[in-house]
Amino acid sequence: MPGTSQRTKRRGRGMNAATLLLALAASGCSSSGFFGTQSTPQSNAAPASSSGISNFFSSSSARAPQTAAGAQPDVNCPPVEIRRGASTLPIGTTGDKSAMTLKYQGEFTREARECSVTGGAMTMRVGVQGRVVVGPAGGPGQVDVPLRIAVVQETPGGTRPIVTKFVVVPVVIGANDGSGLFSHVEEAISFPLPTPTSQLDDYIVYVGFDPQAAETQAKPPPKARPRPKPKPAASAN
């Protein structure tokens, strides 16, 4: 598929979890938004059968060339990549970026996708797996992992968002565990096929952590301002 090798070169994740915990906390790096897209309404990940998830990840791939089901051979399934700058999720004390205050850190371990075409529209099934590692200030409990899945079109002229999904996945850290695993499969990411369909070679699915969207949606809505009381009518003399 044209352009796949160039996109693959942009991928860079070679640090192990322990190194990431120290390097990310020391530098204060975090996700700085996801393409500037408007956040979609938050949804909680629905539990899925472990056997179904396991079969999906074992039979699918994130970047290997793949023809969409129910389509002509020239309709390709867009690849999945982890968004640079959104590949790790540091969770610590607000405003403190030192390594010793880091409670948890999330990272991705595997991605997969499948595509089908029906009635001029493509539907993608995108899955991600990852883990949350306990940091120096962390412990047992539940961690909410904010995930963003975004289909975009990348051309020399820029990046155009096609569709985006935001979901929060709960991860349980046990008392005797140093990490917790998570899996999520987004079942129905649909968008119209471009014309010509060869433009799908410019489509790519980015996956990443999106803590900013989670913070925005956690804020209470602004209070409505009280309406001013009408002034009494002036009496006539």
Give the tens place of pLDDT for each residue, 164-190: 999 999 999 988 888 999 999 999 999
Range(s) of the domain holding residue 57: 40-218
Nearest-angstrom CA–CA distance, 63 and 79: 5
Average pLDDT over residues 34-61: 57
Radius of gyration in angstroms for the set of CA atoms belonging to the chain, rounded to a whole number = 22
**pLDDT digit string, tens, across residues 192-236:** 999 999 999 999 999 999 998 877 776 666 666 777 777 666 665
Q: What is the pLDDT of residue 30?
A: 38
- Asked whether residue 14 is domain-assigned, the answer is no
- Asked whether residue 228 is domain-assigned, the answer is no
**pLDDT digit string, tens, across residues 89-107:** 999 876 666 778 899 999 9
- Asked whether residue 13 is domain-assigned, the answer is no
- Asked whether residue 167 is domain-assigned, the answer is yes
Q: What percent of the chain has pLDDT over 90?
A: 49
When divided into structural domains, the chain yields a total of 1
Nearest-angstrom CA–CA distance, 66 and 78: 8
- Asked whether residue 21 is domain-assigned, the answer is no
Count of residues making up the chain = 237
Average pLDDT over residues 82-88: 94
- Asked whether residue 34 is domain-assigned, the answer is no
Q: What is the pLDDT of residue 175?
A: 87
Q: What is the pLDDT of residue 220?
A: 66
| H/E run at residue 165 | strand 158-173
Return mean pLDDT, the chain. 77
- Asked whether residue 233 is domain-assigned, the answer is no
> pTM of this prediction?
0.71
Q: What is the pLDDT of residue 5?
A: 42
- Asked whether residue 134 is domain-assigned, the answer is yes
